[in-house]
Chain A
Amino acid sequence: MRSRLFPYGIYFNIVLFLMVVVLCGTGMYIFRDVLLKNARSTGMTTASNYAAEEKNRLSVYETLLAFGAASTDTRLQEGDEKYMAQYMSIFFDRLQLVLGKDMVRPYIVLNDMVLTRNGLSELTRWRPEDRGWYRRAMEQPGKTVFSGVYNDILTGEPVITAARRCQMSDSVIAFDIFSHNFHFELLPEDYESDDSFFLCDAKGTLLYRHTSTDFPDGLVKSYAERLVRGIRNGDFESYDSHILDLEGQKRAVYYSPVSNGWYVILTVPYADILKQMNLLCGLFALATGVFFVLLVFYSLRFVRENARLGRINETVRVLGNSYYALYRVNFTNNTYETIKRPDDVGGKLPLSGCYDDLLRDIASDIEPGTREEYERNFSCESIRSLVARRVNDFGGEFRRLCDGEYRWFSVHVLFDRTLVPEEVVLCFREVEQEMQRQLQERKLLQDSLESAQRSEKAKQAFFSSMSHDMRTPVNAIIGMSELLSRKLDDRAQAENYLEKIRFSAKQLKSLIDDILNMSRMAQGKLALNNRELELRSCLSECLDPYVVQAEMEDKDFRVNMDIESTWVMADPLRLSQLMNNLLSNAFKFTSRGDTVSVSVSPVEMGGVLKYKIEVSDTGTGISEEFLPHLFEPYTRETRFSARHVAGTGLGMPIAKSLVEQMNGEIRVESELGRGSTFTVVLPFAAAKPEKKKETPPPAEPDMDALRGMRILLAEDNMVNMELAAEMLSMNGMEVTQAWNGLEAVEQFAASSPFFFHAVLMDMQMPEMDGCEAAKHIRAMDRPDAPSVPIIAVTANAFAEDIAATAAAGMNVHIAKPIDFRLLFRMLTNLAKQAGRPPQS
Chain B
Amino acid sequence: MDSQTKDMLEKGGIGVDSLLERCMGNEALMLRLLKKFPADASFAKLCEAMEKGDDAAAVEASHTLKGVAGNLSLGVLFPLLEKQVHSLRAGDRAAAQALMPDIESAHAAALRAVEGLA
Select B33's contact among A716, A722, A796, beta carbons within 8 Å: A722
* A390 CB-CB contact with B under 8 Å: no
Taking the closest CB of chain A, its distance from the CB of B117, in whole angstroms, is: 14
**Alpha-carbon separation in the docked complex, A443 to B7 (Å):** 11
Select A726's contact among B4, B26, B42, B85, beta carbons within 8 Å: B26
* B67 CB-CB contact with A under 8 Å: yes
Query: Are B25 and A817 in touch, CB under 8 angstroms?
Result: no
Query: Are A816 and B26 in touch, CB under 8 angstroms?
Result: no
Stretch from B47-55, B58-66, B98-106 forming part of the interface with A: B58-66
Query: Are B71 and A443 in touch, CB under 8 angstroms?
Result: no
Q: Could you give, for residues 450-468 of chain A, a 1 whenever the CB lies within 8 Å of some chain B CB and a 0 otherwise?
A: 0000000000000000000
* A720 CB-CB contact with B under 8 Å: yes
**Contact partners of A723 in chain B: CB under 8 A:** 22-23, 29, 33, 71
* A807 CB-CB contact with B under 8 Å: no
Query: Are A440 and B4 in touch, CB under 8 angstroms?
Result: yes
Taking the closest CB of chain B, its distance from the CB of A730, in whole angstroms, is: 7
* A719 CB-CB contact with B under 8 Å: yes
Taking the closest CB of chain B, its distance from the CB of A690, in whole angstroms, is: 22
Q: Could you give, for residues 1-30 of chain B, a 1 whenever the CB lies within 8 Å of some chain A CB and a 0 otherwise?
A: 011100000000000000001111110010
Query: Are A719 and B24 in touch, CB under 8 angstroms?
Result: no
* B96 CB-CB contact with A under 8 Å: no
Taking the closest CB of chain A, its distance from the CB of B77, in whole angstroms, is: 12
**Contact partners of A818 in chain B: CB under 8 A:** 22, 71
Taking the closest CB of chain B, its distance from the CB of A390, in whole angstroms, is: 41
Query: Are B68 and A717 in touch, CB under 8 angstroms?
Result: yes
* B40 CB-CB contact with A under 8 Å: yes
Query: Are B25 and A764 in touch, CB under 8 angstroms?
Result: no
Taking the closest CB of chain A, its distance from the CB of B1, in whole angstroms, is: 10
Q: Which residue of A lies closest to B4 (CB)?
A: A440
Select A796's contact among B4, B22, B26, B85, beta carbons within 8 Å: B85
Q: How large is the interface on B (under 10, 10 to 19, 20 to 34, 35 or more residues)?
A: 20 to 34
Query: Are A820 and B32 in touch, CB under 8 angstroms?
Result: no
Query: Are A717 and B22 in touch, CB under 8 angstroms?
Result: no
Q: Could you give, for residues 707-734 of chain A, a 1 whenever the CB lies within 8 Å of some chain B CB and a 0 otherwise?
A: 0000000001111101100110010000
**Alpha-carbon separation in the docked complex, A718 to B23 (Å):** 16
Query: Are B72 and A730 in touch, CB under 8 angstroms?
Result: no
Select A817's contact among B2, B40, B67, beta carbons within 8 Å: B67
* A780 CB-CB contact with B under 8 Å: no
Taking the closest CB of chain B, its distance from the CB of A298, in whole angstroms, is: 60
Query: Are A447 and B3 in touch, CB under 8 angstroms?
Result: yes
* A693 CB-CB contact with B under 8 Å: no
Interface of chain A residues 632 through 656 with chain B (CB within 8 A): none
**Alpha-carbon separation in the docked complex, A327 to B29 (Å):** 55
Query: Are A817 and B22 in touch, CB under 8 angstroms?
Result: yes
**Contact partners of B3 in chain A: CB under 8 A:** 440, 443-444, 447
Select B66's contact among A718, A762, A795, beta carbons within 8 Å: A795
Query: Are B22 and A719 in touch, CB under 8 angstroms?
Result: no
Select B71's contact among A521, A720, A764, A798, beta carbons within 8 Å: A720
Q: Which residue of A lies closest to B21 (CB)?
A: A527
**Contact partners of A440 in chain B: CB under 8 A:** 3-4
Query: Are B70 and A817 in touch, CB under 8 angstroms?
Result: yes
**Alpha-carbon separation in the docked complex, A522 to B73 (Å):** 22
Query: Are B73 and A817 in touch, CB under 8 angstroms?
Result: yes
**Contact partners of B4 in chain A: CB under 8 A:** 440
**Alpha-carbon separation in the docked complex, A443 to B39 (Å):** 33
Whether A727 contacts B24 in the complex (CB less than 8 A), given A764-B63, A796-B63, comes out as yes
Query: Are A817 and B71 in touch, CB under 8 angstroms?
Result: yes
* A520 CB-CB contact with B under 8 Å: yes
Query: Are B23 and A727 in touch, CB under 8 angstroms?
Result: yes
**Contact partners of A795 in chain B: CB under 8 A:** 63, 66-67, 70, 85
Whether A816 contacts B23 in the complex (CB less than 8 A), given A722-B32, A730-B29, comes out as no
Query: Are B68 and A764 in touch, CB under 8 angstroms?
Result: no
**Contact partners of A447 in chain B: CB under 8 A:** 3
Query: Are A717 and B64 in touch, CB under 8 angstroms?
Result: yes
**Contact partners of B64 in chain A: CB under 8 A:** 716-717, 764
Q: Could you give, for residues 266-282 of chain A, a 1 whenever the CB lies within 8 Å of some chain B CB and a 0 otherwise?
A: 00000000000000000
* Number of CB contacts from chain A to chain B under 8 A: 75
Number of A interface residues in the complex (CB < 8 A): 28
Interface of chain B residues 68 through 92 with chain A (CB within 8 A): 68, 70-73, 85, 89
**Alpha-carbon separation in the docked complex, A764 to B32 (Å):** 24
**Contact partners of B21 in chain A: CB under 8 A:** 527
**Alpha-carbon separation in the docked complex, A730 to B27 (Å):** 13
**Alpha-carbon separation in the docked complex, A241 to B42 (Å):** 118
Select A719's contact among B60, B72, B85, beta carbons within 8 Å: B72
Q: Could you give, for residues 431-449 of chain A, a 1 whenever the CB lies within 8 Å of some chain B CB and a 0 otherwise?
A: 0000000001001100100
Interface of chain A residues 802 through 838 with chain B (CB within 8 A): 816-820
Select B40's contact among A443, A521, A717, A726, beta carbons within 8 Å: A717
**Alpha-carbon separation in the docked complex, A805 to B2 (Å):** 42
Select B25's contact among A443, A521, A716, A762, beta carbons within 8 Å: A521
Query: Are B40 and A719 in touch, CB under 8 angstroms?
Result: yes
**Contact partners of A727 in chain B: CB under 8 A:** 22-24, 29
**Alpha-carbon separation in the docked complex, A730 to B36 (Å):** 19
**Alpha-carbon separation in the docked complex, A729 to B77 (Å):** 28
Whether A717 contacts B67 in the complex (CB less than 8 A), given A727-B24, A764-B60, comes out as yes
**Contact partners of B66 in chain A: CB under 8 A:** 795, 816
**Contact partners of A726 in chain B: CB under 8 A:** 23, 26, 29, 32-33
Interface centre among B22, B60, B72 (most CB of A within 10 A): B22
**Alpha-carbon separation in the docked complex, A402 to B42 (Å):** 41
Query: Are B36 and A722 in touch, CB under 8 angstroms?
Result: yes
Q: Which residue of A lies closest to B72 (CB)?
A: A719
**Contact partners of B70 in chain A: CB under 8 A:** 795, 816-817
**Alpha-carbon separation in the docked complex, A206 to B81 (Å):** 141
Query: Are B32 and A444 in touch, CB under 8 angstroms?
Result: no
**Alpha-carbon separation in the docked complex, A677 to B15 (Å):** 41
Taking the closest CB of chain A, its distance from the CB of B65, in whole angstroms, is: 9
Taking the closest CB of chain A, its distance from the CB of B70, in whole angstroms, is: 4
Query: Are A719 and B33 in touch, CB under 8 angstroms?
Result: yes
**Contact partners of A716 in chain B: CB under 8 A:** 64
**Alpha-carbon separation in the docked complex, A12 to B105 (Å):** 72
Q: Which residue of A lies closest to B36 (CB)?
A: A719
**Contact partners of A522 in chain B: CB under 8 A:** 25
Query: Are B71 and A719 in touch, CB under 8 angstroms?
Result: yes
Q: Which residue of A lies closest to B63 (CB)?
A: A764
**Contact partners of A722 in chain B: CB under 8 A:** 32-33, 36
**Alpha-carbon separation in the docked complex, A791 to B37 (Å):** 25
Select B2's contact among A444, A521, A527, A816, beta carbons within 8 Å: A444
**Contact partners of B73 in chain A: CB under 8 A:** 817
**Alpha-carbon separation in the docked complex, A443 to B4 (Å):** 10
Interface centre among A520, A722, A762 (most CB of B within 10 A): A722
**Contact partners of A819 in chain B: CB under 8 A:** 22
Query: Are A816 and B33 in touch, CB under 8 angstroms?
Result: no
Interface of chain A residues 774 through 798 with chain B (CB within 8 A): 795-796, 798
Select A520's contact among B23, B25, B40, beta carbons within 8 Å: B25
**Contact partners of B85 in chain A: CB under 8 A:** 795-796
Q: Which residue of A lies closest to B29 (CB)?
A: A726
Interface centre among A527, A719, A762 (most CB of B within 10 A): A719
**Alpha-carbon separation in the docked complex, A795 to B74 (Å):** 14
Q: Could you give, for residues 672-683 of chain A, a 1 whenever the CB lies within 8 Å of some chain B CB and a 0 otherwise?
A: 000000000000
Q: Which residue of A lies closest to B40 (CB)?
A: A719
Query: Are A816 and B67 in touch, CB under 8 angstroms?
Result: yes
Query: Are A720 and B68 in touch, CB under 8 angstroms?
Result: yes
Instruction: List 5 additional contacts besides A717-B64, A723-B22; criterion CB under 8 Å.
Output: A444-B2, A722-B32, A726-B29, A727-B29, A816-B67
Q: Which 8 A-B pairs have the closest CB atoms?
A: A817-B70, A817-B71, A816-B67, A795-B67, A719-B36, A719-B68, A726-B29, A816-B70
Q: List 26 A-B contacts (CB under 8 A).
A: A443-B3, A444-B2, A520-B25, A521-B25, A527-B21, A717-B42, A717-B64, A718-B40, A719-B36, A720-B68, A722-B36, A723-B29, A723-B33, A726-B32, A727-B24, A727-B29, A730-B29, A762-B67, A764-B60, A764-B63, A764-B64, A795-B85, A817-B22, A817-B70, A817-B71, A820-B22
